[in-house]
Amino acid sequence: MSIYDILIFFLGILFLVGVAATPSPPASPCSAANASMSFTLRPLDLQNCFSLQSLVTPSRYPYVTADGEVFLTRDPADSAQQTNLYNVGRISYIGPLELRDQNGLVRSFSTFFVFNITTFTKYNESGDGIAFVVTTDRAPPENSTGRFLGLMPEKASDRHEQFMAVEFDTFQNLQPEILDPSASHIGIDISSLSSVKPYLNTSDPSHPLYLYNNYTISAWVSYDSSTHLIQVWATNRTYLQRPRDPILSVSRNLSQLFENFSDIYVGITAASGNNSQATILYSWNFTVGEFQIHHSSPRLPLLWSILLAAISAIVLFTAAIFAVRMIVRRRRRALIEQESISAIRVVSRFVQRYRYSELMHATHNFSDNRKIGKGAYSIVYKGTLRDGTILAIKRMRKGLVEADVIAREVQIISRIKHRNLLELEGWCYERGEALLVYQYMERGSLDRYLHGDRSATDSQELHGEIRYKIITGVAAALEYLHFGLTECVLHRDVKAANVLLTDTMEAKLGDFGLARLINRDEMVTITTAGTPGYVAPEIVHAGRVTEKADVYSFGVLAMEIACGRRAIDPSNMICSRLSDWVWLHHQRGSITEALDPAILHPPSGPALRGDRDVSELQELEKWQCVLHLGLLCCQEDSDARPDMSQVHQALRSQTVLPPPSSWALYSIRSSGTATRSDATFAPCSESSSLLSLSYSSLHVR
């Protein structure tokens, strides 16, 4: 042991002795929160640390669900509640917070909360809103329902409180003392219901914070004691970190506001008047800046006090780096976990929630022999529940670090219903891990039938009719994602391994792990992601993505199914890309020679021989439609590609569209580098590509 280690050990012992000599305050159920001046709303803490308050007795609202969701105001869809429209629902920290420093000034603080406003009426016919409040009132004042949001009483003569509130207001009040700008606005209130300018008017239905769109909103509020700056951030996406730019920012000295009041309380309040809306609080975190707690203690000799202070300073300095890092890491992890749980709980209210222990038992503790697949963000296991139900369990690989990915995936999948899309069956978020549960597909993925362990033994099952059905099914799924929803959903990882097959060989497109929600026609610049061979050139070159990137991937998949070849063949030095290989066949006037011979063999019966009858020519024309579509979808210029609606329509009608007139060939030189050559050729005539084929030509691979 070195002298340095001995010194540190000795100083540590003296420090602990000094700490032990300091008397501790009496413990209380919320002493941890009081000591750190921060708290997080948790179901287990509600009884001891939080107060639910209402102006109507008896009243069902506010109430807490088994999942910890706090319903502050009446749900209009709740038939059990007959009246009580005029009411206030408020949740407050149970006692006054020590917001002042030793000089009596209000300290810096910040808060984060996630809530949902559910309306069933037209604009300006619900009411009245929700607000975060720092106030001198322990409980909502009498006669403070409706437009008063539980912040102040209706009569001016009854008003004695001081408060700072951030309101999300859903009813336009035109009384002279209020003059709301609209029935959907966000404002900062200082002891008045007339918001301090500037306020944020969100009455445009396209606004991301339009309060009649039933969004789940994440909000952040902070106060800086040094600058007196109050700032507000908000977003309608529950899984995101705080946005960079605040939506509101005003300067007010809260120390002056609360100067004549000893007790300060914090809460979240909602109110209803003539009409009502469901106001649900999912999570709430509140934090105050660092401060010192002083307790009385016997007077120590001056020398011992100086020595103890010096020793403590040395030890604290030595441990500061490690302590600060540990505290920051724990707080960050706790906040991320709380946000993630709230986000997933919000978007999966109608999806079954499993316990971690249940899924761990179902997969034999996530045993390797239960592993059935893996991706960039996850490993998939086959699981068997105690009742015998077999499920596919997707275990996210990066835990809390990928909380936004987890929430995004649940948000997207849980609301998408289509016969050719794999539906989410359930979810779990425990121990810092997220797991998604799907219906188990016994047949597995299309990739297994085309290239894997089932390609040889079950090749007859993947005959032409089934393959065409699979291609059409995937096209229908992508058309729905791009055009069938309010917002365009990009899949971004369309490939054979993500096409699962039912018992009847119907396609189910799964794995939305790379999906992004974007507004239609909006281009989003993102990091290149996806599977090599399926990724569109504009992603590789510029990182730009629209739904045309999915069209490109679909084109590769369609040709892969039709030809029975992989999207990339590294051994082919001339044309490693499948699309180049099909193009060269097209250029020679023999595009159907690129087809897998197995697709023209019916499930039973002899292979094609001799002259073709009309049905055989129709079969060839159908597959020429697929190959032409594949080439059109894989054009380098994304604007030249068809959209998935056009693709699906062409497949359903078996329309043979003209192939591209030019093509950019990629080749791999001996050095291993890829090169591109632009070649323009005359289109091949349809007569030469169909009527002159012989059976022997189909064996060219």
Active centre residues (catalytic): 493
Q: Is the peptide bond before 58 cis (omega within 30 degrees of 0)?
A: yes
Give start and end residues of each alpha helix (H) in 588-685.
614-633, 644-653
Cα–Cα distance for residue pair 666/90, rounded to 1 Å? 65
Quick one: how many helices (H) and strands (E) in the chain?
Answer: 15, 29
Selection from 630, 401, 403, 376 nearest residue 514 by Cα: 376
Cα–Cα distance for residue pair 402/10, rounded to 1 Å? 43
445: DSSP letter: B
Can you say whether the dihedral through the CA atoms of 95, 98, 104, 107 is positive or negative?
negative
43: DSSP letter: G
Element (H, E) at 201: strand 196-201
Q: Beta strand 265-272 with 129-135: parallel, antiparallel or unpaired? A: antiparallel
Residue with tokens 């099914």: 473
* SS3 call for 458: coil
Residue with tokens 């099952």: 461
Element (H, E) at 676: strand 674-680
Cα–Cα distance for residue pair 130/122, rounded to 1 Å? 18
658: DSSP letter: P
Selection from 533, 527, 474, 532 nearest residue 500 by Cα: 474
Cα–Cα distance for residue pair 569/572, rounded to 1 Å? 6
Selection from 279, 75, 276, 269 nearest residue 167 by Cα: 269
Give the tokens for residue 74.
């009446």
469 is in an annotated binding site: no
Residues in binding site for ATP = 394
Q: Which residues are annotated as a binding site?
A: 394
